[in-house]
Amino acid sequence: MKSNIEAFLDLVKERNGHEPEFLQAVEEVAETVIPYIVEHDIYYGKNILLRMVEPERVISFRVCWVDDAGEIQVNRGYRIQMNSAIGPYKGGLRFHPTVNMSILKFLAFEQVFKNSLTTLPMGGGKGGSDFDPKGKSDNEIMRFCHAFMSELFRHIGPNTDIPAGDIGVGAREIGFLFGMYKKLRNEFTGVLTGKGMSWGGSLIRPEATGYGNVYFAEKMLETKNNSFKGKDVVISGSGNVAQYAAEKVLQIGGKVLTLSDSSGYIYDADGIDAEKLAFVMELKNVKRGRISEYLESYPNAKFVKGKTPWEVKCDIALPCATQNELNEEDANMLLKNGCICVSEGANMPSTKEAITAFHKAKILFAPGKASNAGGVATSGLEMTQNSLRYKWSREEVDNKLKDIMADIHKSCLEYGKDDDGYVDYVKGANIAGFVKVADAMLAQGVV
């Protein structure tokens, strides 16, 4: 078995040696899926995983725009159309200076499995730019988004590829992107998700990734007759996913101790309650400030510069910022402090070594492709509402989201249970996601 996995990974490394994040994501999947392929004749010998690691199409383009000082700026834009076996490409756009081919290919690859897990008919894709939105004026953001879409529009469409937001792309950016798409195509279609409520957006979409992560963690805790009630919860990030994860934790009786951004974390021993969270939402979403400014209003809290919050004692940890933000040392610290559950809101926030430590300690651990799938699932619901030209109520969408997260949890149990009864959610999510896509690829032949 080992040689099968090694031979496969050697080949992928040979072709993508300069893409460490992509290789990390592929390795995690290969280690759990290849043993399954070997045991199942219908998949064996068809190079199915080799086909899945090769994007169906990679688009790379120049984005030129003019800043407020009249200077011409040049950025790189990308769209990775990874796999369309079960539906049109679907996945977010990330605007962040670290964006490159490796990061986007890892995200697109994860997206294929995640979208399959949602049970909705969506293929996987991802895109973005090395553009840094931090410190830019609204007009600069608009000019960049318009320039980006003036090329991307020819590669996407409501039945081809439907992007959404991710790091650095929220409601404001989706608005500007949609405006330019509509102008160039002269059609009003559901080509992007995460749209505003008055022009085709779905209720609960902004909340969906954070809420969904907490619904998934609740399901995991239920298997141990446990819940969020009275639990200390440590959250990283202070963007879309972190904010709504915190909101849901508060609603179901947990205590939120931390939030963070790339400059450090805040620790509020009294708990970040609903009023304090509203302050954070205004600070991050409207004023576009830094998390350290929390202390100006709540001086009892602490700001720890340049660090992640995993050293704070907690029962539950929700990493909701970015990839590889929780390493082996952090994992050991969480375990030493008695953490019983880690549920990823971000994509691949835990390193491979950190995941091994969680598995060894046999705590509840959910990989992002399962636990943060609520975002794309609700994007899928937005697409359905756009096609029907209809709008479901907040409660209807929230109930559908809850059901989807419960279904994903069930799939993980089906494929992830070890002989001793421990649930390996990584294995469960990878195999469940793989089976649906692989079956569709086999049915469609070698294309």
Evaluate the CA torsion angle 81, 83, 84, 88 in order and state its sign: negative
Q: Is 370 a binder of ligand NDP (CB under 6 A)? A: no
Helix 20-39 / helix 352-361 crossing angle, nearest 10 deg: 50
129 contacts: CB under 8 Å, gap ≥ 6: 63, 75, 76, 77, 78, 93, 94, 95, 99, 144, 148
Q: Is 319 a binder of ligand NDP (CB under 6 A)? A: no
Q: Cβ distance 93 to 127 under 8 Å?
A: yes
What is the side-by-side order of every strand in the sheet holding 316-318? 302-305, 264-267, 255-261, 232-235, 316-318, 341-343, 364-366
Residue nearest to ligand NDP (CB): 239
Rounded to the nearest angstrom, the gap between the alpha carbon of residue 89 and the centroid of all alpha carbons in its chain is 15
188 contacts: CB under 8 Å, gap ≥ 6: 182, 200
Contacts (CB under 6 A) with ligand NDP, residues 60-79:
none
Scanning 42-50, 163-171, 273-281, 292-300 for contacts with ligand NDP by CB under 6 A, the matching segment is 163-171
Which of 237, 254 has the CB closer to ligand NDP? 237
Q: Which of 91, 125, 127, 168 binds ligand NDP (CB under 6 A)?
A: 168
Scanning 5-13, 162-170, 404-412, 424-432 for contacts with ligand NDP by CB under 6 A, the matching segment is 162-170
Least spacing, CB of residue 263 vs ligand NDP, in Å: 6
Rounded Cα distance between 397 and 208, Å, is 9
Q: Is 372 a binder of ligand NDP (CB under 6 A)? A: yes
Scanning 23-31, 44-52, 164-172, 173-181 for contacts with ligand NDP by CB under 6 A, the matching segment is 164-172
SS3 content of the chain, % helix, strand, coil (to 5): 50, 15, 35
Q: Cβ distance 372 to 404 under 8 Å?
A: no
Rounded to the nearest angstrom, the gap between the alpha carbon of residue 431 and the centroid of all alpha carbons in its chain is 18
Q: Is 318 a binder of ligand NDP (CB under 6 A)? A: no
Scanning 265-273, 315-323, 334-342, 399-407 for contacts with ligand NDP by CB under 6 A, the matching segment is 315-323
Q: Is 322 a binder of ligand NDP (CB under 6 A)? A: yes
Q: Cβ distance 265 to 257 under 8 Å?
A: no
Rounded Cα distance between 81 and 55, Å, is 6
Q: Is 167 a binder of ligand NDP (CB under 6 A)? A: yes
Q: Indicate if 126 belongs to the active site.
A: yes
Q: Is 212 a binder of ligand NDP (CB under 6 A)? A: no
Q: Is 375 a binder of ligand NDP (CB under 6 A)? A: yes
Total residues contacting ligand NDP (rule CB under 6 A)? 23
Least spacing, CB of residue 386 vs ligand NDP, in Å: 17
Q: Which of 240, 258, 350, 351 binds ligand NDP (CB under 6 A)?
A: 240
Q: Which of 345, 367, 380, 416 binds ligand NDP (CB under 6 A)?
A: 345
Q: Which of 32, 150, 193, 238 binds ligand NDP (CB under 6 A)?
A: 238
161 SS3 class: strand
Q: Is 209 a binder of ligand NDP (CB under 6 A)? A: yes
Q: Which of 360, 355, 370 is nearest to 27 (CA)?
A: 355
Q: Which residues pair with 417 in a beta bridge?
A: 423
Q: Which of 165, 190, 416, 433 binds ligand NDP (CB under 6 A)?
A: 165
Q: 2, 13, 46, 126: which is the annotated catalytic residue?
A: 126
**Sites of contact with ligand NDP (CB under 6 A):** 165-168, 170, 209, 237-242, 261-262, 320-322, 325, 345-347, 372, 375
